[in-house]
């Protein structure tokens, strides 16, 4: 919390994001992209391994900058990039973990009847 008091909120943000990242295997980065409204947000996201092209900084005019360039004028126009920036994830469900198999009541053993 001292980082916020010292006017270095990015240090606090980096520490929080690193704590979250530590919950995953070392070779996996759970962060795919980052949105922020300060230059320090970009610094924080770079520190945890988000690629520069996936960091979106919103300026006071509401314009979205990528790599310090205002490439997108608004959130609405960001929609045209969604499928390129955020490809769809697999919709295949693991059979062991679907709702039916996970929550179902086990059937009694026939020998116990």
Tens digits of residue pLDDT in 50-97:
999 899 999 898 888 888 888 777 777 778 878 877 777 766 666 776
Q: Is 55 helix (H, G, I), strand (E, B) or coil?
A: strand
Instruction: Answer yes or no: are the C-beta atoms of 22 and 38 closer than 8 Å.
Output: no
Give the span between the Cα atoms of 21 and 3, in whole angstroms: 20
Runs of H (alpha helix) within 23-89? 39-47, 75-78, 82-85
Tokens 């996970």 belong to residue: 102
pTM summary value: 0.68
What residues does 34 pair with on adjacent strands?
55
In whole numbers, what is the pLDDT of the chain averaged over residues? 83
**What average pLDDT does the segment 23-29 reach?**
91
Confidence class for position 19, pLDDT limits 50, 70, 90: very high
């Amino acid at each position: 919390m001292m980082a916020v008091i010292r006017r270095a909120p990015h240090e606090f943000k980096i520490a929080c994001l690193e704590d979250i990242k530590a919950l995953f295997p070392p070779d996996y980065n759970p962060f795919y992209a980052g949105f922020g409204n300060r230059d320090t947000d970009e610094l924080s996201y770079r520190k945890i391994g988000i690629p520069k092209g996936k960091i979106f900084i919103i300026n006071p005019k509401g314009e979205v900058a990528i790599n310090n360039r205002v490439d997108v004028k608004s959130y609405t126009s960001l929609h045209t990039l969604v499928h390129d920036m955020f490809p769809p994830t697999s919709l295949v469900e693991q059979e062991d973990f679907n709702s039916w198999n996970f929550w179902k009541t086990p059937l009694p053993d026939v020998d116990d009847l």
